[in-house]
A and B are shown apart, each in its own frame.
Chain A
Amino acid sequence: MAAYILRRLLWGLVLLVLVSLLTFVIFYVLPSADPAQLRAGRDASPATLHEIRVSLGLDRPLTVQYWTFLRRLVLHADLGYSYFSGASVGSLLLDRLPATISLTLGAVVVWLVVAVPLGVVSAVRRGTWVDRLTAGGALLGISVPVYWLGLVALYLFASDIGKVPLLPGAGSYVPFSKDPWTWFTSLILPWLVLGSTFAAVYARLLRGNMIEVLSEDFMRTARAKGLSERRVVWRHGLRAAVTPLVTLAGLDVGLLLGGAVLTETVFGIPGIGRLNYDSITHADYPVIQGTVLLAACFVIVANIAVDVAYAYLDPRVREA
């Protein structure tokens, strides 16, 4: 298992280099704003522009630029400095990471707490009003864009602009270390919004798996043993139905840790996604590269974690 994980990690590194190259190419090949121009401000003289270009290393050939970036990253773990603010990209990412992690983990809790019971109950009672209601809710959750849902939530419940001012609105996020209570309340709306869109999808997926599992022979065996119906469904059934979903959930968590761009933007949460969004509007290449690489890292690690978890959850996979 250790050798397997090591091999996967090495492949992950190769993938990261490819991702960084792709990000680099896309930034320079596709039309984008001139970073020097943005940094110099309006009406800068050509001399100033040139000076900035030289200082940022933008005058050198692209291959050299990429090589320099890669060397600094590998040798010094240095992602460079923001064209826009001059801050080190590494420190920017570290600053933003706690907000993204807070958002993601809370959303995961919401989505599991909602999706698992809904999925199981609508499978066991399929065709009843519970099932139809969750089907409708899920359809809504799947089809509605998360930013729209976020705006509606703010419009309804935010303490500043909401019709029923219940919860802190956009831009109210404070770090946990500063004020845990405000941290918590400010994240409730984003958690619910982000979590419910995932919950909708997962409830439906779980329902589908569960319906299949309910007709399995081993469920009949469990009943024949004299187990209570609750135990048959929630232990024997759920265990089998939820396992395939772990893969998907792991990958989704990895993606979210890379930044829930839309949710963070709508709610003004200073996370990785928001940083990514801002860096793109500022043509801030080093920060774009940093956020993209971080997201790629999370996805790669999530992939490996999911495979390991799956081997743990399904003993049949272990030997394979």
Chain B
Amino acid sequence: MSALEQPSPAAAEPVLRVEDLRVAFDTREGLVQAVAGVSFAVAPGRTLGIVGESGSGKTVAATTAMGLSRGPRVRISGRVLLDGEELLAASPERLRALRGAQIAMVFQDPLSALHPLLRIGDQIGEAVRAHRSDASRAAARARAVELLEWVAIPDAARRVDAYPHELSGGMRQRAMIAMAIANEPRVLIADEPTTALDVTVQRQILALLRRLRDDLGMAMVFITHDLGVVAETADEVAVMYAGRIVEQAPAHELFAAPRHPYTWGLLRSMPRLEAPAGAALVPIPGRPPSLIDPPSGCRFHPRCPYVRERHREVEPALEPVAGALGHRVACLLSEAERRALWARLAAGATPEQARAAVGQAAPAAAPPAAEPPA
């Protein structure tokens, strides 16, 4: 993909802009800060990949942008701008009109995300008619067939009357995608759209999403825990950890020169063909932190192999990486240290070896021991 080689963030005005988004859920156990100040923007025809473990806040951020997480026990602040229109303050009626028309979403598991008792065609037709009240049932149905053909479902005229359980997993996800693009939205949010599918089908779905994005000129937000999927799809990547973006960069830059220890962990826990022979897959020790009482300082510090005393107190900001356009990282290590550490890691060193080679003293406490109780 040529777009990957020549990232041009300023090519077009972003259609979706999220600024300092914060989402907290008021639960019996306490306030869960699921999203703690997240900003990103996507331009038409571009894809932003949001990567993170489950519980990192990526899905909450997306559903909040869609206005789907509103509720009496949800506290939302920040700004979500769709073509300059503020969505967080929009009336429910205005949001309803935008959802499915200007901004649409594809969900993770199509079997549970589609209504089990309604025909595929009816569910797609409903999406059409929700925004075009003048469309007749017949017109909506014809449009459903057209959409199913568009997402390459064979024998669409017959499949339009099928129920979700009668389709294969890949077909179901195609139908789900057809439903999302029914009104040719400007923004498509895909939340782990390939996670429930097997690998060959994953590739087809990714190819389909790319094609549709280009055909329709949609801005796409692609949420996943799988860096491999991001490498194939995204122009830009944001890595989320514990409700924050810890690193953000053009996709090729992120894979070539990652700057955050968490990203390193993700990369090292992912099987890669170009990895040095004998390099073992290394899981990141510990678990994602509690979002009710997040760690002080850098939220990653309890799991970070390079942690220092100061990192437990000072909160890092997402700051530009010197000399790398569009690359930002929230890490308290110096750029020189980060560069040296990654050089060792990329050569196959363990975090301990890398730390020793760079001359960093061992952390006061072994990182996994500082893990908060689950």
Contacts and interface: CB of A to CB of B under 8 A. Distances in A.
Interface string B158-200: 0000010110000000001001101000000000000000000
A226 B130 CA distance: 6
Most buried by B among A222, A225, A228: A225
B74 interface: no
Contact of B99 (A217, A223, A239, A315): A223
A239 B117 contact: yes
B52 interface: no
Contacts of B127: 225-226
Contacts of A228: 96, 130
A178 interface: no
A221 B114 contact: yes
B96 A226 contact: yes
Interface stretch (B103-111, B267-275, B281-289, B361-369): B103-111
Given A227-B126, A315-B163, A236 B115 contact: yes
Contacts of B107: 217, 220-221, 224
A228 to B, nearest CB: 6
Contacts of A224: 66, 68, 99-100, 104-105, 107, 180
B126 A243 contact: no
Contacts of B99: 223-226
A320 to B, nearest CB: 11
Interface string B68-98: 1000000000000000000000001000111
A218 B126 contact: no
A259 to B, nearest CB: 34
Central interface residue in B68, B99, B113, by most chain A CB within 10 Å: B113
Nearest to B67: A223
A181 to B, nearest CB: 41
A225 B100 contact: yes
Nearest to A221: B113
B79 to A, nearest CB: 21
B131 A220 contact: no
A240 interface: yes
What band does the interface of chain B fall in when counting residues whose beta carbon is under 8 Å from A?
A: 20 to 34
Given A223-B99, A226-B131, A239 B115 contact: yes
A313 interface: yes
A217 B68 CA distance: 12
Nearest to B108: A217
A314 interface: yes
B163 to A, nearest CB: 4
Given A223-B99, A226-B97, A315-B165, A218 B116 contact: yes
A316 interface: yes
Interface in A32-60: none
B101 interface: yes
A133 B99 CA distance: 35
A218 B66 CA distance: 15
A95 interface: no
A234 to B, nearest CB: 13
A225 B179 contact: yes
A240 B105 CA distance: 22
A216 interface: yes
Question: Which of under 10, 10 to 19, 20 to 34, or 35 or more describes the interface residues of A?
Answer: 20 to 34
Interface in A241-265: 243
With a 10 A CB-CB cut-off, give which of B96, B97, B115, B126 has the most chain A CB atoms. B115
Most buried by B among A224, A243, A314: A224
Nearest to B119: A315
Contacts of A222: 115, 126
A225 B102 CA distance: 10
A227 B130 contact: yes
A186 B20 CA distance: 67
B104, B127, B179: which has the most chain A beta carbons within 10 Å? B127
Interface string B312-351: 0000000000000000000000000000000000000000
B112 interface: yes
A240 B179 CA distance: 20
Interface string A189-224: 000000000000000000000000000111011111
Given A224-B66, A226-B131, A218 B163 contact: no
B118 interface: yes
Given A218-B114, A224-B68, A224-B105, A316 B163 contact: yes
A73 to B, nearest CB: 42
A220 B101 CA distance: 16
Contact of A218 (B115, B131, B165, B182): B115
B117 A220 contact: no
B68 A223 contact: yes
Contact of B115 (A223, A226, A240): A240
Interface string B250-282: 000000000000000000000000000000000
A224 B100 CA distance: 6
Interface string B134-176: 0000000000000000000000000000010110000000001
A224 B99 CA distance: 6
A204 B336 CA distance: 65
A316 B115 contact: no
Interface in A301-316: 313-316
A218 B113 CA distance: 4
A228 B95 CA distance: 10
Contacts of B101: 226
Contacts of A216: 112
12 contacts: A217-B107, A221-B113, A222-B115, A222-B126, A224-B105, A225-B127, A225-B182, A226-B127, A226-B130, A228-B96, A243-B117, A316-B163
Which A-B residue pairs are the 6 nearest by beta carbons? A226-B100, A217-B112, A226-B99, A225-B100, A225-B127, A315-B163
Interface of A: 216-218, 220-229, 231, 236, 239-240, 243, 313-316
Interface of B: 63, 66, 68, 92, 96-101, 104-105, 107, 109, 112-118, 126-127, 130-131, 163, 165-166, 176, 179-180, 182
Given A226-B100, A239-B117, 7 more contacts: A224-B107, A225-B127, A225-B182, A226-B101, A226-B131, A314-B117, A315-B117
